[in-house]
Amino acid sequence: MTRMSRIVVEIPQVVILAGGLGSRLGEITETIPKSLIEVNGIPIITRILDWAYEQGCRRSLILTGHLGEMFENYEHKIDLTFVKESEPLGTGGALWNAKDQLENEFILLWGDDYHPTNYSSLVDSHRQNNALLTMTVTEKHETMNLRHENGKVIEYNKSSPNENFNGYEAGTSIVDKKVIETYGKNGKWSWEETVYPALSGEITAHIDNTKFWDMGTPERLEVLNQFFKDCITEDCK
């Protein structure tokens, strides 16, 4: 009897947006970039990269800005490349600034989110749909910031959600570089406010209710700290 081999999905480059000011965290980020803030003794970016490594990622591009020099001696078992912006460029501007370092397909993460989702499932969904952008969407969140129908994100608005919204961007996406080449521009601009509306109806919604944490405020940071303090299983990275 012939044994069927398991198909292994190749995990692309992981790009982490780590250049924000982290102003909602107050005094904490006056002396340290938010992605280097420790969560139960380990920098959040290390926890993000540890999960990416476990998922099969071996290359990461980290986009820094505020206090970016503090990453100079940072190392990880993943092969790291850093691009530092010389002035605040926003999420979109940071990606455009690093366009020469972006691979043709990449997983996009936020440097203050911990989202232990299955990368292989996301990548497989993206490739099967021949998508330009595939977004993980959770339907289990205290607030909603988008509407999805028939596998597509048709509306997104994080500042003014409405009663018709039925999902929330969970913080992990996979992007075709063509999106950057099409919508990118010099200067400061927002990835979410520019690209999501432009691709309305074309963004593939990958439904994934894996819990995620945004440590963007002191209160949320404490929740994530507590999660890792309480965590005693191998699933808690």
Instruction: Give the pLDDT of residue 4.
Output: 40
Determine what percent of the chain is predicted with pLDDT higher than 70: 94
Tally of domains in the chain: 1
Q: Is residue 236 part of a domain?
A: no
Residue ranges of alpha helices (H) inside the chain are 44-54, 90-97, 119-128, 177-183, 191-198, 218-230
Instruction: Give the pLDDT of residue 160.
Output: 83
Q: Is residue 7 part of a domain?
A: no
Q: Is residue 237 part of a domain?
A: no
3-class secondary-structure state, position 158? coil
CA 84 → CA 65, 157, 199, 224, distances in Å? 5, 28, 28, 27
Per the CB < 8 A criterion, the answer to whether 111 and 16 are in contact is yes
3-class secondary-structure state, position 176? strand
Q: Which domain holds residue 82?
A: 13-230
Q: Is residue 8 part of a domain?
A: no
1 pLDDT more than 50: no
Per-residue pLDDT of 51-86, as tens digits, reads 999 999 999 999 999 999 999 999 999 999 999 999
Give the whole-angstrom CA distance, residue 54 versus residue 60.
13
pTM here is 0.92
Structure tokens at 15: 């790009």
Mean confidence (pLDDT) of the chain: 91
Tell me, what CATH number does 122's domain have? 3.90.550.10
3 pLDDT more than 50: no
Give the whole-angstrom CA distance, residue 128 versus residue 126.
6
Give the whole-angstrom CA distance, residue 144 versus residue 168.
5
Specify the residue for token string 């044994």.
3
Instruction: Give the pLDDT of residue 9.
Output: 81
Closest CA to 133 of 151, 116, 150: 151
